[in-house]
A and B are shown apart, each in its own frame.
Chain A
Amino acid sequence: MSRAATRKKKRLYIALLGLISLGTATALVLTAFEDNLVFFYSPTDIAEKGLTPEQYVRIGGLVEEGSVRQLGDSRIAFRVTDMAHSIPVTYTGILPDLFREGQGVVAQGSIGDDGATFVAREVLARHDENYMPAEVAEALKASGEWRPESGQPPPR
């Protein structure tokens, strides 16, 4: 084998080895820091871990159907659910356009003094991956093929 070809082989192996080690190291770091990489906790996570009033966290899930109540001056109460557990939330302020029952939501705040209600300081809407025209959504709902309140994606 010529010397140039040997050097090329060697460089190829070094590059492959380097990429594999780098990938492994990154995977280990990301796994170790998983708790800090999630943007929000689901109600199930919270049920497992528990929350103290000092912890300032984000919780996320769907706005439970029929749970939104106006409490007077731009104060609102609703429940965040992941279909397994749900958490009552109160919030004072302006809500994003996409905030509605059955849609995704992320609330940032902490557990209130009663130890059960989550007092949100900021509420963000979360959009799901479904895109469709209004007429199609209406037709699917009218025919009963899709019930958005079930939390299931629309049929294809």
Chain B
Amino acid sequence: MSRAATTVGESRSLHRFANPARFVRIADAVYPWALAGMAVSFLIGLYLALFASPADYQQGDTVRIMYVHVPAAWMALFVYATMAAGSASYLIWRHPLGVVAAKAAAPVGAVFTFLALATGSLWGKPMWGTWWVWDARLTSVLILFFLYLGYIALMNAFENAERGQKAASLLCLVGVVNLPIIKFSVDWWNTLHQPASVSRIGTPAIHESMLWPLGLMALAFTLYFLVVLITRMKSELLGARLRALGAAAAEGR
């Protein structure tokens, strides 16, 4: 008896965060701050990255591509991890908000991944001497891009929306194995791509004058994701409500 009571209590406390009305309230409070923070960090970050930061001793001004490439690549991984958390909460605890969040995040993550691949390619031609190679890092990130596309396609492939949601969420969870492969590919295997500079053990291998603009750009990208995620989730929730109201009205007639 007491066991049942605690389980119900637990699920209620978890459901607190999955309640759409409460989500909209929290999201509305966060939104203006995220938007303002994004604008400020983009302005300062882009100014530092494109004008005020020094040229690299080896790469010259080509190093400036890094200020877009690295945050985009981080976000590609971060957005996927967010989607996986949402998909897991939907598949296991049936939290509808989990799948709404994952569905809203997918195109944003796909764009970040594309941006990382495209800027990397533009950097690779002058620096490496090639647009593309099939090394472990580049290939695993390309697979991540296809996982995003597969998720979006699967989500919309079924007549019955719930079947699409379940299939896509399952794909998203399966794809999680790719995240550690991407992160550690440069350590596990010889790759043309350089190893991590910022998150390596000890001090970062990036000079302070280049680390600041990189950090600001990463903050700007994260806030951009938050802003777009909130907007897309709210419109998704409104759409669901409209459909429900429409169905109710059609039934009442």
Contacts and interface: CB of A to CB of B under 8 A. Distances in A.
B206 A131 contact: yes
A12 interface: yes
A156 interface: yes
Interface residues of B, number: 49
A136 B190 CA distance: 29
Interface string B77-96: 00000000000100111100
A34 B191 CA distance: 12
A89 to B, nearest CB: 15
Interface in A110-142: 123-138
A135 B209 CA distance: 12
A98 B128 contact: yes
A15 B172 CA distance: 12
Contact of B91 (A15, A41, A130, A131): A15
B244 interface: no
A15 B194 contact: no
A98 B133 contact: no
A60 B129 contact: no
Interface string B38-64: 000000000000000011111100010
B194 to A, nearest CB: 5
Contacts, number: 131
A19 B174 CA distance: 7
A5 B11 CA distance: 8
A9 B203 CA distance: 42
Nearest to A24: B177
B4 interface: yes
B91 A153 contact: no
Contacts of B4: 1-2, 5
Contact of B189 (A34, A106, A128, A130): A34
B194 A134 contact: no
B226 interface: no
A42 interface: yes
A34 B206 CA distance: 30
Given A39-B190, A98-B59, A134-B57, A8 B3 contact: no
A127 B189 contact: no
Contacts of B136: 37-39
B28 interface: no
A91 B183 CA distance: 33
Contacts of B25: none
A18 B170 CA distance: 11
A22 B178 CA distance: 11
Contact of A129 (B177, B189, B194): B194
B88 A23 contact: no
Contacts of A41: 190
A75 interface: no
A106 B126 CA distance: 15
B210 interface: yes
A96 interface: yes
A90 B3 CA distance: 75
B26 interface: no
B238 interface: no
A106 B4 CA distance: 63
B231 interface: no
Interface in B161-181: 173-174, 176-177, 181
B88 A131 contact: no
Given A37-B136, A132-B56, A19 B176 contact: yes
Given A1-B7, A60-B190, 11 more contacts: A11-B91, A22-B177, A38-B190, A41-B190, A98-B127, A103-B58, A124-B129, A125-B128, A126-B192, A127-B128, A131-B205
Interface of A: 1-2, 4-5, 8, 11-12, 15, 18-19, 22-23, 26, 30, 34, 37-42, 60, 95-99, 103, 106, 123-138, 153, 156
